[in-house]
Structure 1
């Protein structure tokens, strides 16, 4: 019986990632050298390696990029970092995802209006750190509904969300907050692309005997896709490249599903699919 290999309807690089990659590649070819990204441009080690081979190096801190061009990663940074880079004479190219910028704006607005700001997301994640930088010193990060009980809350609370969080987590945390405050204002800043990928992945996983999730192991949105798929398909495997595929995973599988995080270029998905086809055909 021939296996049916399907890719989720929504999978792979989102608009913000594609935009950032175009900017970075253009800088590698045209911008004032040396060219660095401040931190990984996106959470995909294979892409970061490919960018380095094309002249776009990785700078972990500003001290690692003393001249030339500095690209701000898709996750954004605190405003002071951009100011410091320009003060050093660096040419700054901002590749922050436009949807992340909307979170920055919403966080700043809620803070100006006097709300106690909560950011639903992963503490320490670069995107969350950037949001906090636009929200003021008193903003707090909440990762799970269970954390709400330990918060000291003011009567008026505003909420924004890391773009790659799940709608379920947002709902759980909002439900925990609502009974404890007089006014709760929630700005749902989960990216539409994230929601689409999560929904499509869950549907495909539920109909698959084996599910492959492609993307960086350091990518929060890809890890969440893997969690969602694992809840629907016990044989779910998160990989970064086709080299990690194990033929044993596909033994007895008829329906094989593939999805990929928002930081995964299409060519990575294509290589994984091609390799699965080889495995299933016995090559």
Structure 2
């Protein structure tokens, strides 16, 4: 049984940058705080914990003074930086440049819509760290939508500016754009008052066609990702639609021998938050299973 790892999978630039910054800091510090999981992958979080990275939540952040805190790639709202100033916290800012640029765009769009009685709508996952950072640019007045029902919150008689969380599905964004256009038309509004901004990271969206090609080249696909990863859920959906014999695992311990019966070729791929070392560990375990499972 041939087992191969997708060369296009693994960390995106933003995640790789954040982890490198954490590792560099931990070389000279015994302990470093990080606001939220540095990456939506439990195995990587555990590895960095062993090096001294301590994950904290927002409530714990408020109790810290005179220490260093890493801001992960997802970015943070303005109030986090204000708190850091009050508590004399040194922020090691690993916010992804793509996310920072989007935050700036959302802030400028919000300021403009205030003069036009407009609304900022963000296609994204409620409660997600990146979305919290984006809505923070609007004083938490942006409307977050994930599905058609969420659009009931929007007043389509007023101007609408749409953005997307950077790791969402491209198809999902354009479906949401279409639904908004239909709602505006039904409300008798003007489409000229609707500004749709495809703000999905191209390093993420470009993986979709690459994954479809990879998925059809193998009998079985094993997709490795943390279950908290929004990007992981979106990319696995792409793989699963292309190849029904696709399986989602968090680590090699979740593999089942029966998945590989009759398989000549197995492909391993993952989310932008999946480390290459973890996909290699999964590959090694599948090789062991392949030696025992009849082809």
TM range (shorter): over 0.9
CA contact (8 A) 2:143 2:153 kept: no
Q: Which one of 191, 212, 221 corresponds to residue 211 of structure 1?
A: 221
- Give the number of equivalent residue pairs: 280
Do the aligned partners of 1:142 and 1:148 also contact (CA within 8 Å) in 2? yes
Which runs of no fewer than 5 residues in structure 2 stay unpaired?
none
1:260 aligns with 2:279: no
Q: CA RMSD in A?
A: 1.9
Give the drift of 1:63. 3.7
Q: Return the alpha-carbon distance in structure 1 between the equivalents of residues 201 and 38 of structure 2.
A: 18
The residue number in structure 1 matching 2:257 is 247
Equivalent pair of 2:5/2:280 in contact (CA under 8 Å): no
Residue 38 of structure 1 is matched in structure 2 by 35
Match among 120, 128, 133 for residue 131 of structure 2: 128
TM-score by length of structure 1 reads 0.92
SS at the partner of 1:135? Answer: coil
1:5 aligns to what?
3
Please name the residue that 2:98 is paired with.
99
What residue number does 2:119 align with?
A: 116
Would the aligned equivalents of 1:106 and 1:187 in 2 still touch at CA under 8 Å? no
Matched-pair contact (CA < 8 Å) for 1:123–1:141? yes
Could you tell me how far 1:17 is from its partner in structure 2?
0.6
1:269 aligned onto 2:269: no
- Kept in 1: contact 2:62–2:83 (CA 8 A): no
**TM-score normalised over the length of structure 2:** 0.89
Q: In 2, are the aligned partners of 1:86 and 1:92 still within 8 Å (CA)?
A: no
SS at match of 1:147: helix
Cα deviation digits, residues 225-262 of structure 1 (max 9, x gap): 22222222222211121222222211111231211100
Report deviation, 1:206.
Answer: 3.1
- Map 1:150-161 to 2 at 5 A: 151-161=154-164
CA–CA distance in 2 between the matches of 1:122 and 1:271? 30
Runs of 4+ in structure 1 displaced over 3 angstroms? Answer: 63-67
Task: Tell me the CA shift for residue 212 of structure 1.
Answer: 0.6
- Taking the aligned partners of 2:103 and 2:157, their CA distance within structure 1 comes to 22
Aligned partners of 1:102 and 1:189 also within 8 Å? no
**CA–CA separation in structure 1 for the residues paired with 2:244 and 2:270:** 17
Note closer, same or farther for the CA distance 1:88–1:63 as it changes in structure 2 (3 Å cut).
same
Aligned to 2:174: 171
Q: Distance in 1 between matches of 2:196 and 2:253?
A: 43
**Deviation by residue 1:106-164 (Cα, 9 ceiling, x = unmatched):** 11111122141100011111111111001233210111234335532243211111011
Contact 1:44–1:215 (Cα < 8 Å) also in 2? yes
Aligned mates of 2:233, 2:173 — CA distance in 1: 17
* Worse-matched range after superposition: 225-234 or 162-171: 225-234
* In 1, Cα distance between equivalents of 2:157 and 2:274: 40
Structure 1 CA distance, aligned partners of 2:52 and 2:63? Answer: 15
- Structure 1 CA distance, aligned partners of 2:26 and 2:36? 16
| Structure 1 residues without counterparts, runs of 5 or longer | none
* 1:4-45 Cα shifts (integer Å, max 9, x gaps): 3233342110100110001011111225x6410011111111
